[in-house]
Amino acid sequence: MIRITILGFLLLFLPVVVQAQTIVSVKGLVTDSLTNQPLSGVAVSTSIDSDIYGQITDENGRFQLFFPAGRRGITFKMLGYVPQYFFLDENSQSQSLSIRMEKVENQLEQVVVSTKGYDETVKKPLLGVNQINIKTLSKIPAAFGELDFLRGVQMLPGVSSVGEASNGVNIRGGTTDQNLILLDGTPIFNPTHMFGLFSVVPPDALSNLDLYKGNVPARYGGRAAAVMDITLKTPDVNKFRLSGGLGLISEKLMVNVPVIKEKLAFYVAARGAFHDFLLPYISQDLDSVKTRFGEVVGKVFWRINTKNTLSAMGYLSTDYFQTNLLANLPNVVGETTFFDHQTKNFSLKWVSLISPNLDWQTTISSANYDPTIGTIETATLNKVRLESGIYQHQVTSSLNYQRNRQKWEVGASITKYRIRPGILNPGNSQSVNRIAVPDEFANELAAFADNEISFTPRLAATFGLRYSYFQNRGPTTVRSYQPGEPRDEFSVLETTRYEKGQTTKSYGGFEPRVGVRYAPNPDLSFKLGYNLMRQYLQIVSNTTTPIPTSRWKTSDTHIRPQISHLITGGVYQSFDSNIYEVTLEAYLRQSKNIIDYKPGADFLLQEFPETQLVQGRSLAYGIETMLSKKKGNFTGWVNYTYARTFNQTYADLNVLERVNNGNRYPANYDRPHSFNASVDLVADSRNSFSFSFVYSTGRPYTQPVGFVEYLNNFYPYFDERNNQRIPDYHRLDLAWHIKNPSKKVDQRWKGNWSFTVYNLYGRKNAYSVFFKSESGVARAYKLQIFGAPIIALSYNFVFE
């Protein structure tokens, strides 16, 4: 398969014989008529007989179309803007255009979650590429009325989670750490607040979110499953704007300030939540919980001249969660456990327009994640802290070129990693000693090339090739173990010391990606795609979903990188002038070197985690179908997914290390059946209603096969992993949005109310099942996150 893919990539360089005809080129720039900002995602198209020639403007607002000469009409469309039209006469030659689009403030037409751009589901060769429209996302009912992009993507087929308090999502058989989540080009290692209840980006700063769960462009790497690329808004260089909101859980505020008109501007957006006094009203079990979270993001945009722009982004996210419901740190006498973690990201991006067909982009980024778990000692109130962290610094540079029905992107990146596995800081404790696990260091180099080509209006393809090279570096100590024996303290043969800068182990390889589209007519297309992705970082955890303090680990001598092969095929049909759309996709993913844990594994302050881990293979497959109505006062979608994911440890492992004796077992997030429905009804210019319904099969859990009695207590013992399932999950949510209640039309202050009910009929969905010995009897219990309806009211405003 790899050889075939690379051969197809090389065929692009061979001459292609086509019927001679006069081809004209129309290129240009699309901007906002008021702010003069470039507009990305504008649909540019022209229709010739039964064929549609179209393209989406890039992030710099640029486009280029190629089509047969003749009298043509070119259409420019984007949600929230008045459509623009440009006409060419029969004798027109290739030319450059400057299109200015006027914003429509009170547009009722709504576009639901769909693939990126104008009819791109049918037209583009990529599979499984979705763009979440932020206006649509804001209408989806959410817990506590907070806009949440992670809950939004879970309404798509092929995306799920293990439950309400999951710290991430699972996409097409992948684990949560197999998703690359980017915020303006910087990685987010923990995408949630409060153990998965809220996502971590200020809603007012969001521009769009691209989800790649099928074909992944070659510029992305480092994860084995999917990519979520979150783009923040560009500061408005012409207009002051103040926006914000008040809710039962949090408050938010964003201010945009133009410094030099049409040249320089910045904004700051922040959100904070300090209302933990409301938690006991949700559940009495939360009476002891103290929590707060917040984030702030700032962005600066500078148009240096007509050909160069510079932007900088800074992001800070904080969380604090304290409870007596969770276990303490070992050997610490206390009743209260707390979690405290921070994310600090920064990026600097330079874009230079070398020619109308060529631009050069360079990004410098830094991502720092510092999670802490601690226990408050009962006698002294001293805080014992277990501190860890992951730090990534990266430089990426790429050239983008467009000419003669082809789009090229070539580039390279260099990445440095430092992981702090854990430092036990005793504070003033008299009974706890300081312990520090040595840091891990690694480098990753990558080069990539992407080519999108239209052979004919009916046949198009995208070819990508990435090469990555990873080095695990010293200082560190590496053990070697007795072959065929379990990796533990008793099978160590020798240890080798590597000093700073020495390479302990290196990995590398090609990552081909290809997608082909055949469209017999403008409303129907068939697609086929293949992806290979390599992952050199992973979370090591023995919990169902990794908690914020779960440990990250580099690939090394004993932990090999994960490698994923994904084959995808699909059929795509649009109806009634692209108002309705039906998609059907099937996928097969085979992964090797996946991470799992030995029975009884303990990663706390473990210097040699390979003694607690095993590796194996994973098989995931599924069918996804979706029907959506994309325009009008009544919009929405329904989708159904059948998906399975099975893991299996390698057969060459010692029998004591194999999970389920080496047989296949369902993954923690294996949910065979999923059904999602979302409906948005615009009643009039001021009122709209949204409903969403979610159903999925219960996830697996491990049920004990018996209990052992010891000192009048019963302790469970287990045989097969994930041998039972929790009850099925289902939930109905409601939202009522009231826009601009005031009758004034030209007012500078615009407000709207949102009333939401999450879990409308109070379904007591189980998150997990656990067993506990009480009065000499072993009992099973269901852990529930939300067992009652959650009502929320929020007010949002804009002043400009």
**Count of other CB atoms within 10 angstroms of residue 759:** 23
Q: How far is CA 87 from the centre of its chain?
A: 40
Nearest to 371 by CA among 600, 551, 529: 551
Could you tell me the CA-to-CA distances from 186 to 209, 420, 678 in Å, in that order?
14, 19, 31
pLDDT digits (tens, 9 = 90+) for 294-336: 999 999 999 999 889 999 999 999 999 888 766 678 778 888 8
d(CA 707, CA 699): 23
Q: What is the structure's pLDDT at 15?
A: 37
Q: Which amino acid is at 773?
A: S
CA angle 61–406–27, rounded 5-degree value: 40
- For the chain, the average pLDDT equals 85
Q: Which amino acid is at 541?
A: S
**Count of other CB atoms within 10 angstroms of residue 244:** 18
Are the C-beta atoms of residues 408 and 427 closer than 8 Å to each other? no
| Nearby residues of 81 by Cβ (< 8 Å), 6 or more positions away | 32, 39, 42, 101, 102, 103, 104
Q: Considering only CA atoms, give the Rg of the chain.
A: 27
3-class state of residue 516 by DSSP:
strand
| Nearby residues of 417 by Cβ (< 8 Å), 6 or more positions away | 390, 391, 392, 440, 441, 442, 443, 444, 537, 554
Q: What is the mean pLDDT of residues 605-630?
A: 94
Are the C-beta atoms of residues 368 and 404 closer than 8 Å to each other? no
CA angle 99–100–103, rounded 5-degree value: 140
Per the DSSP assignment, residues forming a β-bridge with 423 are: 387, 436
Q: How far apart are the first and last CA of the chain?
A: 56
Residue 283 has pLDDT above 70, yes or no: no
Residue 139: its H or E element: helix 134-139
Q: What is the mean pLDDT of residues 105-129?
A: 50
- Out of 402-411, 555-564, 689-698, 707-716, which region has the weakest mean confidence (pLDDT)? 707-716
d(CA 788, CA 758): 9
Q: What is the structure's pLDDT at 583?
A: 93
Q: What is the structure's pLDDT at 361?
A: 95
Burial class (CB in 10 A: 0-12, 13-18, 19+), 577: exposed
Bigger pLDDT: 731 vs 66: 731
- Banded model confidence at residue 9, pLDDT cuts 50, 70, 90: very low
- Banded model confidence at residue 286, pLDDT cuts 50, 70, 90: low
CA angle 789–795–800, rounded 5-degree value: 155
d(CA 407, CA 401): 6
- Max mean pLDDT among 99-108, 210-219, 547-556, 585-594 falls in 585-594
d(CA 549, CA 189): 11
Q: What is the structure's pLDDT at 18?
A: 38
pLDDT digits (tens, 9 = 90+) for 463-478: 999 999 999 999 999 9
Largest CA distance in the chain: 95
Burial 638-660 (b: 16+ CB within 10 A, else e): bbbbbbebbbbbeeebeeebbbe
Token representation of residue 572? 């795509």
Residue 346: its H or E element: strand 334-355
Q: How far is CA 724 from the centre of its chain?
A: 29
Per the DSSP assignment, residues forming a β-bridge with 420 are: 389
Q: What is the structure's pLDDT at 746?
A: 64
Token representation of residue 739? 């826009």
Q: How far is CA 398 from the centre of its chain?
A: 22
Burial class (CB in 10 A: 0-12, 13-18, 19+), 14: exposed
Nearest to 158 by CA among 666, 544, 587, 527: 587
Length of the chain, please? 800
Residue 272 has pLDDT above 80, yes or no: yes
3-state helix, strand, coil in the chain (%, to 5): 5, 60, 35
Residue 216 has pLDDT above 80, yes or no: yes
pLDDT digits (tens, 9 = 90+) for 167-206: 789 999 999 999 999 999 999 999 988 777 788 888 889 8
| Nearby residues of 26 by Cβ (< 8 Å), 6 or more positions away | 64, 65, 67, 74, 88, 94, 95, 96, 97
Give me the phi and psi of 667, to 5 degrees please. -70, 160
- Percentage of the chain with pLDDT > 90? 48
E strand intervals along 89-195: 95-101, 129-132, 159-160, 170-171, 179-183, 186-187, 192-193
Q: What is the structure's pLDDT at 113?
A: 40
**Count of other CB atoms within 10 angstroms of residue 709:** 11
| Nearby residues of 659 by Cβ (< 8 Å), 6 or more positions away | 596, 598, 599, 614, 616, 647, 649, 665, 721
Burial class (CB in 10 A: 0-12, 13-18, 19+), 213: buried
- Banded model confidence at residue 550, pLDDT cuts 50, 70, 90: confident
Bigger pLDDT: 50 vs 444: 444
d(CA 38, CA 573): 31
Residue 239 has pLDDT above 70, yes or no: yes
Burial class (CB in 10 A: 0-12, 13-18, 19+), 728: middle
Residue 111 has pLDDT above 80, yes or no: no
Are the C-beta atoms of residues 740 and 748 closer than 8 Å to each other? no
Residue 541 has pLDDT above 90, yes or no: no
Are the C-beta atoms of residues 615 and 594 closer than 8 Å to each other? yes
Bigger pLDDT: 600 vs 355: 355
d(CA 209, CA 793): 25
Q: Which residue has the tokens 């990305």?
A: 40
| Structural domains for the chain | 22-101 (2.60.40.1120), 120-799 (2.40.170.20)
d(CA 40, CA 101): 12
Q: What is the mean pLDDT of residues 46-68?
A: 74
Give the number of C-alpha atoms closer than 13 A to the C-alpha of residue 166, restricted to the C-beta side. Answer: 23
Are the C-beta atoms of residues 718 and 696 closer than 8 Å to each other? no
d(CA 257, CA 264): 9
Would the CA dihedral through 718, 721, 725, 731 be positive or negative?
positive
